[in-house]
Every structure is written in structure tokens, then in C-alpha cells.
Structure 1
Amino acid sequence: MDFIVGGVAGVGAGFFSNPFDVVKTRMQLQGELRAKGKHAVHYRNIPHAMYTIVKHDGVTALQKGLVPALWFQLVVNGVRLGIYQHADDFGLLRDEHNNTKFVNSLFFGCISGMCGGLCGSPLQLVKTQLMSYSSEKIAVGTQHAHTGMVYAMQKIYNKNGLAGLWRGAHGMMLRNSIGSAAQIASFAVCKEWMDDNNVFQQSKYMSSFMASNIGALGKTVFLTPMDVIMTRLYNQAIDANGRGVLYSGIIDCAKKITQSEGLLAFYKGIGPSYLRQAPHTVLLLVFWDMLKDLQKNIELHT
């Protein structure tokens, strides 16, 4: 049941944050392996990016990749929040006073995030490629021209087998382990401190709301560099052997970005990334708290 609760919370949050994910993906691919000033800038900032996408691709383009995005949320958050909750249920996260141990929370947030990333990697691969596909006038990165999630998965599987669907999974696992640890640990400790010190207790979920905002900030800062690398790995073209044309792996990708675009390129798209992470994290963790309370009430009355 813990896995279902986590997955449903992720789906509810994913629907509202998807447009910012589209913008983030386009901005992270813009100017790929090109020095600043040596490439066309189709997406200058968040409002301009949204306007440009709607102008050339239509308003529905802001929800590109929504289907695999929601399945991704269901799988990844079901796995990671389920594992994290199980660790809490087994007494692995708290001390004798029932306070969260920050290091333990970081550790299990990292492990659960890594497991979720492995399970959800094919969905993230397809989602990234669907989100990046656009009108030729505003195209960035490799254009894969998938017509939908099922078509994309069949196309990738027919060409490269199961290994093709998990291409770039190591990047997703590292990204998700870092993001999950930062998000969950900061949320748990901040919420606990607020509850213990009677801060933001105006309503039952006010502390969850405030703590999740802090969790979103921490996640964005630590996650964005790895997020850029993951987006590049997923979206690159592949050769006949299923190997990436531009990058051979995480280290090669990081090296080439640094050499071609500079260190600041690792924070491309941080604006839409935060605007995606903030509502997503708030909705995810507040939904998670609410659903856990609902689960407890059901168990008490059965």
C-alpha cells in the first residue's frame, strides 16, 4: 500500500508541473555543445519559451510527454516513497525520541531514489524525446519524431532491444539518488522541526507545505547539473550499435559540456526547473502526507 500511496501522490503532482518540464527540457538542450553566442536562442526565459512553444507548436505542446511523465511519476515515486516509508516503518530512520536521523534519511532517500530511477528510466527516456520534439523553426537537440509513448517504446525496442530502453539509466539513477536524498531528507527534518516548535501550525498540512518548499529548493540546487547531463544522454542520437553519437556516458558528457559551453551550462534551465520542482514537490509531499493519513484512517476502521 505504501508504494501505491507514493505513486498516486506523484501522478497528482506531475500533471500540474509538466509544462515547466517541457520548457526545462528545451532550455537544457538549447546550444548543445556550442559556445555562448554561437547558437540560435529560441528560448530566452520562461515566459518567452512558453510563448514561443505555443506560437509554433500550439498550446497542447506545453503538455508534450504527459502520458509517459505520469507513468514515470507513478513508477518512480511509488518505488522511492514506498521504500522510504518501509524503512521508516522498520525503525531505520528515527532515534529513540522518534526524531528523524538526517544521515539515515539522506541514505535511504538516496537508495530509494536510485531504485526508482532504474525502474522508471525507459519512461524518462521517452518523455525527454517527446518533449524535445518541435517545429523545425524552434528545434533544439536531436529530433526523434515519435508520435506517442507506445510508438516510441516500440521503435526503440525494435531497433536496440531492451538495452535501448534503458540507455542512459545510469544517469537517471545518479540524478534521482541525489534529488531524492536532498528532497526527502530536507522535507522530513524541516517538517519535524516545525511541528516540534509549533511553527506554521495554522492548519494540519501547513508545515508540510512550507517544508516541501524548502525540499524543492534543495532538490533544484543539487539536481540541476545532473539533470542537464541526463537530458543530453537521453536525447542524443544513437549509432547502429545503440551507442550515443555525442556522449559515451556521464563523465564524457560532463567533460564536453564544460569544454564547449562552460560550467554555467550545468545550470541551464534552472528557472523552469525550480518552477517545476516547487509545485511538484509541494503537491507530491503534501499529497503523500494526506494519503498516508487516509491510509491510517482506513486501517483503523477495518
Structure 2
Amino acid sequence: MDFLMSGLAACGACLFTNPLEVVKTRMQLQGELQAPGTYQRHYRNVFHAFITIGRVDGLAALQKGLAPALLYQFLMNGIRLGTYGLAEAGGYLHTAEGTLSPVRSAAAGALAGVMGAYLGSPIYMIFPPQSWKVALAAAMVSGIAVVLAMTPFDVVSTRLYNQPTDAQGKGLMYRGLLDALLQTARTEGIFGMYKGLGASYFRLGPHTILSLFFWDQLRMLYYTYTK
């Protein structure tokens, strides 16, 4: 049940934050492998991109890819939050004196995150009740560092996934992750590695808050009506 509630909580957050994922993807693909200043910028920033996509392509375009995104969130965060919840319920996060151990909590969160990301990644390729407050504070503090560190890999992952190919798999622009990183850095410079940075960070905060809030509320309801 912990995994189900965690997955549903992540899906609830995804409904609100998926438009920012669409904006981020559009910005990351803009001017792909073109030197700065040599192409027309359709999206100047995250807010301009949001408005432009909604005006030109329609509001429904802001929810493109919602179905695989929901499945991905259900699996990844369902496993991540569910595993953390089981560790918490089993008392593994507390010391012998009954106090919450930051080291154990961090270790459990890291292990749960790795498991969720690993088991949920194939979907991406095909396209106590108050404890969440501690996790939320940690997530918000580390959010900037996480986004700065992961954005270059997010950019090239988006491009690898969206690169055109023929039926025989020929004509690929990139031979792999490292080749995509090198080509992007060589042609677009350091700023090309951070396209969509604003959308990534604006999505991280609301998604983290909503996921943990919905998770907390679902657990409270479940434990209230099952006791």
C-alpha cells in the first residue's frame, strides 16, 4: 500500500508540473548543435516558452507526453517514496533512543532514489506523517545543486531520445551520451549545456512539494480509516 500511495502522490504532482517538462524539452531542443546567434530563438525564457506553446500549439500541447510521464512518476517515485516509507515504518531511520537519525535517513533516501531511478528509467526511454517536512527542507536546500549538476545530462538525454533516425537505425546525430555531451559543448558552448535550466528548477520545487504533500495526505487518510 505504501508503494501505491507514493505512486499516486507522484502522479498527482505530475498533473500540475508536466507543462514545465514540456517547456524544458522544447528549450533543450532549440538550436540543437547550432552556434549561439546563428538560429532563431522561438523561446526566450521559460515564461515566454510557456505562453508561446499555449498560444501557437494550444493548451493541450502543454500536456503532451502526460501518459508516459504519469507511468514514469508512478514507478519511479512510487518505489522511491514507498521504499523510504517502509524504512520509516520499520523503525530503521531512528536510533536506539528513538530519535530520527539524519545519517540513516539520508542513506535510506539515497538508496530509495537510486532504486526508483533505475527501475523507472525504461519508462522514460519509451516515453511518520510529518516526516515529509524534513525531506522537503532537504530537497529544497539541495535543489539548486542537483539541477546544476544534472541539467547537462538532462539536455543530452533529451536529445538522444529525440534524435531522428531511419528504419535501419542509421543517420543518428549522436553515438552515445559522451558524444552528445562533447558535440553540444563544442558547438553551443557552456550555456548550451544548461538549456531549460529555469524550467527544470521551477518544476523541481512544485513537484517536490506536491508529491510529498499528496503522499502525506494519502497516508494520513489510509492510517485513519484502517485503524
- Shift of residue 78 of structure 1? 0.9
Q: Say if 1:87 and 1:108, in contact at 8 Å, map to a contact too.
A: yes
Q: Which runs of 5+ in 1 are unaligned?
A: 128-187, 193-207
Question: Where does residue 205 of structure 1 map in the other structure?
Answer: none
In structure 2, relative to structure 1, the CA distance for the partners of 1:29 and 1:209 (3 Å cut) is same
Instruction: Name the SS of the counterpart of 2:173 in structure 1.
Output: coil
Give distance in 1, aligned partners of 2:50 and 2:121: 26
- The answer to whether the aligner puts 1:257 opposite 2:175 as a matched pair is no
- The answer to whether the aligner puts 1:297 opposite 2:224 as a matched pair is yes
Describe the superposition over 1:187-238 as per-residue Cα deviations: whole angstroms up to 9, x where unpaired.
Answer: x6x944xxxxxxxxxxxxxxx7666544644543343232222212211224
State the Cα RMSD in Å. Answer: 2.7
Q: Which amino acid aligns with 1:116?
A: G
- Shift of residue 126 of structure 1? 4.2
Q: How many residues align?
A: 223
1:192-271 counterparts in 2 under 5 A? 192=134, 213-214=140-141, 216-238=143-165, 240=167, 242=169, 245-271=172-198
Q: Say if 1:80 and 1:112, in contact at 8 Å, map to a contact too.
A: yes
- Shift of residue 239 of structure 1? 5.2
Q: Which amino acid aligns with 1:288?
A: W
- TM-score, normalisation: structure 1: 0.65
Q: Say if 1:212 and 1:286, in contact at 8 Å, map to a contact too.
A: no
In structure 2, relative to structure 1, the CA distance for the partners of 1:2 and 1:260 (3 Å cut) is same
- TM-score, normalisation: structure 2: 0.83
Instruction: Name the SS of the counterpart of 1:262 in structure 2.
Output: helix
- Shift of residue 293 of structure 1? 2.4
1:1-302 counterparts in 2 under 5 A? 1-97=1-97, 98-102=99-103, 104-127=104-127, 191-192=133-134, 213-214=140-141, 216-238=143-165, 240=167, 242=169, 245-299=172-226, 301=227
Q: Say if 1:76 and 1:116, in contact at 8 Å, map to a contact too.
A: yes
Q: Say if 1:228 and 1:268, in contact at 8 Å, map to a contact too.
A: yes
In structure 2, relative to structure 1, the CA distance for the partners of 1:100 and 1:256 (3 Å cut) is farther
Percent of paired sites with the same residue: 44
- Shift of residue 8 of structure 1? 0.7
Q: Which runs of 5+ in 2 are unaligned?
A: none
Instruction: Name the SS of the counterpart of 2:193 in structure 1.
Output: helix
Give distance in 2, aligned partners of 1:109 and 1:272: 24
Where relative contact order (Cα < 8 A, 6+ residues apart) is larger, the structure is 2
